C-alpha cells in the first residue's frame, strides 16, 4: 500500500479474522523511522492512539511516535463489536472515576465523529425477568430484560480514525507496518523496530492481547478470541417486534453468553463464543474459516436465527472475530513494567476495552508527563 497516495487503510493486512462492517479511513503519512523519541507508543489501537493524541496536545515540544506492526486498528480495536460499557469487567476500581463521562469528554475535545451514543445497555436474563421487558426471545430459556446499566455503542472504525487524526494533527507521528521486535531496558530505553534501534525516554505498551512477551503479560493474563456477525438492514417494524427500537445495546448476565447492538441503517450485531488459545502467537495464524472458530461462528449464526421469528431468515453480511485479554480477577492492567519504571503497560480489558482503553490511554499520557498518578489498584505485573 502506498501510504502517501491517500489510499484508505483496511482493518487488517495479514490476519484472517474476517471483515467487520466498518472502515478505517485515515492513512497516516509515511515518515522515516527516527533515531530517538521522547515517547514511543507501541500499538496503534484505541489505547495507543488515545495516549498519543493526549501526549502530543499536552506537550507539543515532545517527540511522540506510535509504532504499529500492521495498520492502525489491525488488532482488538478494529475487530471489536463497538459496545461501550461502564467501569471494568471487575466493576468499579479504586479511583477509576467515570469512564463513560471521561470518554465522552475525549471524543468532544478531539472533535471525533464516531456515532458515539450512550442510550444505555440492557442486561438480559433467564430468571428474575421483568414483566415489562420489551425483549422476549428464546435462547436456552426465555431471555428478558432484567436491568438497565449505563453504556452504549460506537463505530470502531470511526473512533480509530478520529483518534489517529487527532494524534497526527497535534504532532504525533504514526508508523504503520513497523513492528517493535524487542526492548532494551537501559537508560535511555531502546526499542528495536524492523532491525533499527530507536532510543526512547518513555515507552507505553498498548498492544493488549498481542505481543505479550514485550508487555510481560504472557503468563499473567489469558488471551482469547471472540466472534461476531452483522445482519442486513431490518425494517422499523422488525426492530419493534424484536424489542430493539430504543437503540439500547444488550448482553446476557448469565451463560450461554450473548451480546449485541444496533448498527447504522438498522442492522444488528451479535457476538458470542471464546476460542481457546495456547498462547497469544496463535492469533497470528488464526482463521475464522477453520477449526474451532468456524464451528463457533456457525453455532452463533444458528443461535441468532432461533432467537425470534424476525431473525429466522435475516441475511448475515459480515462475520469476524477479534482478541480479548482476560486479566487476574477480570481486572485491567495499568502498571509500570517490571523491568523499567519508564515503561507503562495497559491492557487486559476483559471485554470492556472500547471505552476503557480510550479512557486509560489518555490517563497514561498524563502519568508519563507527571501530571497524574497511576491508579491505586492491584496489578498483574506486581
Let me know how long the chain is: 382
> Torsion angle of alpha carbons 77, 166, 359, 193, nearest 10°?
60
Closest CA to 310 of 243, 238, 260: 238
Single pTM value for the model:
0.94
Under DSSP, the state recorded for 372 is S
CA triple 211-300-25, angle to 5 deg: 50
What is the model's pLDDT at position 379? 74
Confidence at residue 377, expressed as pLDDT on a 0 to 100 scale: 87
Residue 331's nearest CA partner among 358, 311, 351 is 351
Residue 373 burial (10 A CB sphere; 0-12, 13-18, 19+): exposed
The full set of domain ranges for the chain reads: 3-80+156-218+330-368, 121-151+222-326
Q: Per CATH, which fold does 121-151+222-326 belong to? A: D-Amino Acid Oxidase; Chain A, domain 2 (3.30.9)
Specify whether the CB–CB gap between 160 and 176 falls below 8 A.
no
Between the alpha carbon of residue 366 and those of residues 43, 204, 252, the distances in Å are 18, 12, 36
- pLDDT by position in tens, the chain (length 382): 333 333 333 344 458 999 999 999 999 999 999 999 999 999 999 999 999 999 999 999 999 999 999 999 999 999 999 999 999 999 999 999 999 999 999 999 999 999 999 999 999 998 765 568 999 999 988 999 999 999 999 999 999 999 999 999 999 999 999 999 999 999 999 999 999 999 999 999 999 999 999 999 998 999 999 999 999 999 999 999 999 999 999 999 988 999 999 999 999 999 999 999 999 999 999 999 999 999 999 999 999 999 999 999 999 999 999 999 999 999 999 999 999 999 999 999 999 999 999 999 999 999 999 999 999 887 767 6
Q: Long-range contacts: 335-342, Cβ < 8 Å, 24+?
A: 335/374, 335/379, 335/380, 335/381, 335/382, 336/374, 336/381, 337/203, 337/205, 337/215, 337/216, 337/381, 338/216, 338/381, 339/185, 339/216, 340/185, 340/189, 340/203, 342/187, 342/189, 342/201, 342/202, 342/203
In whole angstroms, how far apart are CA 60 and each of 52, 263, 309?
11, 36, 56
Q: Which residue has the cell 495516549?
A: 51
Please state, in angstroms and as integers, the Cα–Cα distance from residue 120 to each residue in 115, 248, 260, following that order: 14, 5, 13
DSSP 62: S
Give the right CATH number for 3-80+156-218+330-368 from 3.40.190.10, 3.40.50.620, 3.40.630.10, 3.50.50.60: 3.50.50.60
In contact, 231 and 105? CB cutoff 8 Å:
no
Amino acid at each position: 500500500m502506498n501510504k502517501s497516495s491517500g489510499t484508505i487503510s483496511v482493518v487488517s493486512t495479514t490476519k484472517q479474522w474476517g471483515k467487520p462492517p466498518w472502515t478505517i479511513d485515515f492513512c497516516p503519512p509515511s515518515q522515516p523511522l527516527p533515531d530517538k523519541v521522547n515517547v514511543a507508543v507501541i500499538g496503534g489501537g484505541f489505547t495507543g492512539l488515545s495516549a498519543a493524541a493526549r501526549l502530543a496536545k499536552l506537550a507539543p515540544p515532545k517527540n511522540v511516535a506510535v509504532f504499529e506492526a500492521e495498520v492502525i486498528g489491525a488488532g482488538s480495536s478494529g475487530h471489536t463489536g463497538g459496545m461501550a460499557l461502564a467501569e471494568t469487567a471487575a466493576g468499579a476500581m479504586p479511583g477509576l472515576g467515570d469512564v463513560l463521562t471521561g470518554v465522552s469528554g475525549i471524543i468532544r475535545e478531539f472533535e471525533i465523529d464516531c456515532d458515539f451514543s450512550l442510550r444505555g445497555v440492557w442486561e438480559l436474563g433467564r430468571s428474575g425477568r421483568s414483566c415489562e421487558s420489551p425483549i422476549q426471545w428464546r435462547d436456552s430459556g426465555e431471555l428478558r430484560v432484567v436491568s438497565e446499566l449505563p453504556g452504549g455503542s460506537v463505530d470502531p472504525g470511526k473512533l480509530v480514525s478520529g483518534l489517529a487524526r487527532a494524534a497526527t494533527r497535534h504532532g504525533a507521528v504514526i508508523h504503520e507496518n513497523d513492528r517493535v521486535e524487542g526492548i532494551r531496558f537501559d537508560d535511555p530505553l531502546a526499542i528495536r523496530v524492523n532491525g533499527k534501534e530507536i532510543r526512547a525516554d518513555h515507552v507505553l505498551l498498548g498492544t493488549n492481547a498481542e505481543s505479550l512477551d514485550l508487555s510481560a503479560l504472557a503468563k499473567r493474563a489469558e488471551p482469547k478470541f471472540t466472534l461476531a456477525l452483522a445482519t442486513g438492514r431490518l425494517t422499523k417494524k422488525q426492530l419493534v417486534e424484536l424489542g430493539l427500537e430504543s437503540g439500547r445495546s444488550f448482553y446476557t448476565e448469565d451463560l450461554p453468553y450473548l451480546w449485541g447492538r444496533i448498527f447504522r441503517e438498522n442492522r444488528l450485531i451479535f457476538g458470542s463464543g471464546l476460542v481457546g488459545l495456547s498462547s497469544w502467537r496463535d492469533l497470528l495464524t488464526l482463521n475464522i474459516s477453520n477449526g474451532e472458530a468456524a464451528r463457533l461462528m456457525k453455532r452463533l449464526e444458528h443461535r441468532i436465527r432461533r432467537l425470534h421469528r424476525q431473525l429466522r431468515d435475516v441475511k448475515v453480511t459480515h462475520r469476524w472475530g477479534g482478541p480479548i485479554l482476560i486479566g487476574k480477577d477480570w481486572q485491567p492492567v495499568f502498571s509500570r513494567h517490571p523491568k523499567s519504571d519508564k515503561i507503562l503497560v495497559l491492557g487486559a480489558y476483559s471485554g470492556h476495552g472500547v471505552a476503557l482503553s480510550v479512557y486509560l490511554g489518555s490517563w497514561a499520557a498524563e502519568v508519563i508527563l507527571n501530571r497524574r498518578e497511576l491508579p491505586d489498584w492491584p496489578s498483574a505485573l506486581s
